[in-house]
């Protein structure tokens, strides 16, 4: 996961080294640099989480609480309101709760960055499906959406539609598919933007 970070820093370093006025390069790219620094710090935090949880077994937890925690983080960070369509309760799922909160927050953060500037809409939904053997999460927005050929690729490390680090959605796939043995997908939303779908098995029904 260090590859996209090294690539971005390397390109900036080369531009500064070859520029006649390096200060102008820094000033011109300040916003991008700030975003890159934020991404690196988030990445470091996620690596720390990974090292902490790598040796610990997954445990059952309440997905509703994890969802609300992620929403709270992103609403505070972005200043945007996130619509919540959530049931009174969900069956427990097994995993590393803090990692799941981070992964959901990454999806929501992606939505806040992509959403329409006028009348933005970001919605998160959750439900129990398949006879309570799985939980499905939906996050959708009214942004420009994701082109169909990119809807699987955006979960690959280093892939970003907006010039970001390409790490956030890679972590989403790692947590929900590799760690929790579920599925993640990106689709078109009826709101006009992207819809991210997460399906994870409930406790006791995990795939081997």
Per mean pLDDT, which range of 22-26, 103-107, 132-136 is the poorest?
22-26
Query: Given pLDDT bands bounded at 50, 70 and 90, which one contains residue 1?
Result: very low
CA dist., res. 65 & res. 199, Å (int)? 17
Which two three-digit tokens encode residue 53?
């949880």
Q: For 73-104, how does the pLDDT look when each residue is reduced to its tens digit (9 = 90+)?
A: 999 999 999 999 999 999 999 999 999 999 99
Query: Given pLDDT bands bounded at 50, 70 and 90, which one contains residue 43?
Result: low
pLDDT at position 34 is: 58
Half-sphere exposure of 12 (CA within 13 A, CB side): 20
Rounded (to 5) percent helix, strand, coil in the chain: 50, 20, 35
Query: Given pLDDT bands bounded at 50, 70 and 90, which one contains residue 167?
Result: confident
- Supply the pTM of this predicted model: 0.76
For the chain, list the domains and their CATH numbers. 57-201 (3.30.565.10)
- Whether the per-residue pLDDT at 25 is higher than 60: the answer is no
Helix (H, G, I), strand (E, B) or coil at 127: strand
Residue pair 143/189 in contact (Cβ under 8 Å)? The answer is no
Angle formed by the axes of helices 3-18 and 30-53, to 10°? 150
pLDDT at position 3 is: 46
Query: Given pLDDT bands bounded at 50, 70 and 90, which one contains residue 198?
Result: very high
Mean per-residue pLDDT of the chain: 83
């Amino acid at each position: 996961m260090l590859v996209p970070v090294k690539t971005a820093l390397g390109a900036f370093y080369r531009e500064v080294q070859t520029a006649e006025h390096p200060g102008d390069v820094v000033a011109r790219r300040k916003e991008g640099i700030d975003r890159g620094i934020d991404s690196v710090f988030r990445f470091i935090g996620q690596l720390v989480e990974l090292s902490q949880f790598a040796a610990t077994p997954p445990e059952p937890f309440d997905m509703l609480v994890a969802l609300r925690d992620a929403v709270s983080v992103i609403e505070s960070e972005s200043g945007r309101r996130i619509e919540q369509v959530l049931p009174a309760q969900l069956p427990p799922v097994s995993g590393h709760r803090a990692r799941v909160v981070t992964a959901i927050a990454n999806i929501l953060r992606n939505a806040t960055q992509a959403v329409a500037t006028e009348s933005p809409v970001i919605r998160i939904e959750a439900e129990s499906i398949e006879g309570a053997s799985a939980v499905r999460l939906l996050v959708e927005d009214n942004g420009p959406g994701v082109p169909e050929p990119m809807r699987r690729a955006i979960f690959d490390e280093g892939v970003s539609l907006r010039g970001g680090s390409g790490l956030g959605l890679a972590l989403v796939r790692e947590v929900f598919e590799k760690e929790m043995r579920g599925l993640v997908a990106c689709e078109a939303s009826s709101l006009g933007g992207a819809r991210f779908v997460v399906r994870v098995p409930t406790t006791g029904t995990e795939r081997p």
